[in-house]
Structure formats: structure tokens, C-alpha cells
Amino acid sequence: MKKIIGAVMLVVAAVCSSSAQKTTATYKLGDIVSDFKLKNVDGTMRGLVTDAGREKGYIVIFTCNHCPYAKAYEQRIMDLDKNFRQSGYPVVAINSNDPKEAPEDSFEKMAERAKEKNYTFPYLFDESQAIAKKFGAVRTPQVFLLNRNKQGKLELVYTGAIDNNWEDAAKAHRHYVEEALTDLSENLKPATAETKAIGCTIKWKK
Amino acid sequence: MRHLIFSILVLSGIIRAEAQTLDNYTLQQFQNRVLQDNDTLYVVNFWATWCSPCVKELPYFINLSSEMAQQPVKFILMSLDASGDGNKVAAFLNRKKIRLETHLFTEADPNVWINALEPSWQGSIPATFLYHKGAKVSFQEGSFESEKDLKTFIKNHK
């Protein structure tokens, strides 16, 4: 009986996911990503592209103020922007947490944090959570590396962690985002295109 | 002999939960603990003291552990707090009077151990596993809605 229920559930799940694909499919590796507009901590509305001629892609990072993992990675996120903005891959940070669930992640607190730490990258508030859903982001911090392909479209080429040691950057021996960017600079697809890490769950609206 | 080793493990687990600090647990130690060829169902919850949805659902595990005390069900908490935070976790457990067997999971490379435990796990916590007769029999990523919800999750595999 359990097997039958299991099989029925599988079929239902398959049907649901195939019908969902038309409207709310999340990006998969190799998919083309559409630009969007969200409120930045400086009060302006912006998305990914500011200078299509110079920007070869974007290091999109779902992060937030409150999560210990996000805090542990904050300096590394700032360093990624400093190190790769010039070569055409700026960081775009997005907070999608519901401030009702995580009060430290309100727009006001985001602005405070960005100012205090002198973020050199936009820190966008995904208030409706639609962008996190579109990207299929589940935790913070989580990276989605986008690369402009030959047709000029933004392609998702890497998703996952920044490196493989959240506690101590010096002890990380795999630097996934940097490795992916090195591969891209050599016109290769990232050899490691997907990684996993522990992170805080995105706090969805109830 | 196996019973003796088992008793020592159980006992050391209890001692750990009440001690001032927690021992680090590697992936190998974890697997040795939960992949055992006996009748016990292991209910393992990955959590951390700073994770609010995790802390919120801890009482479900504690209450069910009391309720199922006479059954071959063992509840184990695997803390994903920082590797140096054993004292902090122990203090938290003492403060909340949590007596469940608890270990600090400190295997280094998450991209390796997450996949080793469960390929579908995206890495968010809480996450709960059931192990029985040396195999993983169930997995859930995310919180339980209620104690009843957790109980159903466990009962479905007993």
C-alpha cells in the first residue's frame, strides 16, 4: 500500500513540476537569466546590468544580515567584488528573507549594514521573494554565477558555495567561485558547476 | 561484546549531553553511530544553536523521546555550530535541560559530506534523518510543523 501511495505521489509530483515549469520554473545550470529590478540599499531601483559593455557577468549572492554563515562569509563577499569587479564580474547581493521572521534582515538594517561595512556592491531587497524563487535559492549565503554568452545573454554557469570552509577562509582548499571565474577567463565552462554547503534557510513569508 | 560496545556508546552519549563540552564528530564516527545492524530506529536531527527554526522544533524531539522511551528509538542531535563552540552548545543544552545525545559535527568539507549523507539535501537546516538496520530510511529538509508532524514522519517508518 505504501508503495502505491509512493508511486501516486511521484506521479503527482512529476505532474506538478511539469505544469509548474511553465510559470515558476527555477533556473537550472545553463539557463538564461532575465534581469530584474529590486530596491537597493541606496534607495534606487536596480537589477543586474548597469554597463553591458564592460560587465561580462555577475556574482549574484543570496545573503542576509542575521545568518552566522552569511556573517562568516561577509568579508569574502566584499573581497570577491573588490577582486573581480575590474575584470567584469561584480557582486550583486540580494536579501530575500522575510523581516517578520528575521527582524535583522529588514531593509533599514540592510542599509545600516552596507553603510557600516562600506559595501562596494549593491545589496538588494527581494521583498516579494520572487527573485529567490526564480533562482531556486534555498539558503544564505548561496552564489549564482552568471556569464554573458556569445549571444550576449546571461547564462547561469555555477551555483553553490564560495569555498569549502565557512569557519576559516584560510583553511578552505577549494575556492569554487574563483575557480569558476578562472575557467571562464579561459573560455571554459566551470569544471565544478554545482556545490553544496550548509547555510541558513531563506526565511519565507508565512 | 556488541551489547557492551553499544552500552558504552549510549552511556557516553548521555555523559556527553551533560558534560561541559561536546566532542567533535566526524562523518565516519557519525556513520558508525547510526548505521548499526540492530532494531533501534535512529532519529537524527541536524541543527545549530543559532538556527531559530531548529531551536523551535527541538521540543518536538525532546517530548517524543520521552514518549517513546520504552521503544527501540534513539534520538540524536547533531550540532552544526562552529567546531570551537562545543562549550557554547553544552551550555545551551544545560540551560534548556536537554538530555538528548548530542554531538558536534565538524567534518570539514560540506560539499563532500552533505552529498555523502543525502544527495538531495540542499544544505539548509534543520534537517532530519531516520536510520534503521544499517540504512537511511527517511530524510526531511526543513522544519516540522508540529510534534504530530514529526511523530508521523517517525511512525511511517516503524
Residue A97 sits in a domain whose CATH number is 3.40.30.10
Q: How confident is the model at residue A1 (pLDDT cuts 50, 70, 90)?
A: low
The parent domain of residue A164 ranges over 26-201
Residue A4: inside a domain: no
**Which residue carries 540492530 as its cell?**
B38
Q: Where are the domains of chain B?
A: 21-155
How far apart are the CA of B113 and the nearest CA of chain A, in angstroms? 9
Whether A138 is covered by a domain: the verdict is yes
> Is residue A102 assigned to a domain?
yes
Asked whether residue A178 is domain-assigned, the answer is yes
B76 burial (CB, 10 Å; 0-12 / 13-18 / 19+) is buried
Residue A52 has a pLDDT of 87
pLDDT at B12: 53
Domain count for chain A, please give it. 1
Cβ-defined contact of B122 to A171 (cutoff 8 Å): no
User: Which chain A residues are within 8 Å of B52, Cβ to Cβ?
Assistant: 102
Q: How far is A162 from chain B (nearest CA, A)?
A: 11
Average pLDDT over residues A3-9: 52
The order of strands in the sheet holding B124-125 is A139-140, A199-201, B124-125
CATH architecture of B21-155: 3-Layer(aba) Sandwich (3.40)
Domain assignment of residue A170, yes or no: yes
* Preceding peptide of A99 cis, ω within 30°: no
Domain contains A20: no
The residue written with cell numbers 559535527 in the block is B105
Q: Residue A178 has which C-alpha cell?
A: 574563483
Q: Between the CA of residue A38 and those of A15, A89, A112, A192, B115, what are the distances in Å?
A: 32, 19, 18, 30, 34
Cell of A158: 555555477
Q: Tell me whether residue A9 is in a domain.
A: no
Give the pTM: 0.84
- Which residue type is seen at A161? A
Nearest beta carbon to residue B109 from set A139, A160, A164 = A164
A135 CB within 8 Å of a chain B CB: no
Specify the pLDDT at position A139. 92
**A172 domain-assigned:** yes
Q: Are B101 and B76 in contact (CB under 8 A)?
A: yes
**Positions of chain B with pLDDT lower than 50, given as ranges:** 14-19
Give the pLDDT confidence of A9-27 residue by residue, as tens digits.
Answer: 544 444 433 333 344 689 9
First-last CA distance in chain A: 33
Q: What is the distance between the alpha carbons of residues A99 and A96, in angstroms, rounded to a whole number?
A: 9
- CA nearest A196 in B: which residue? B111
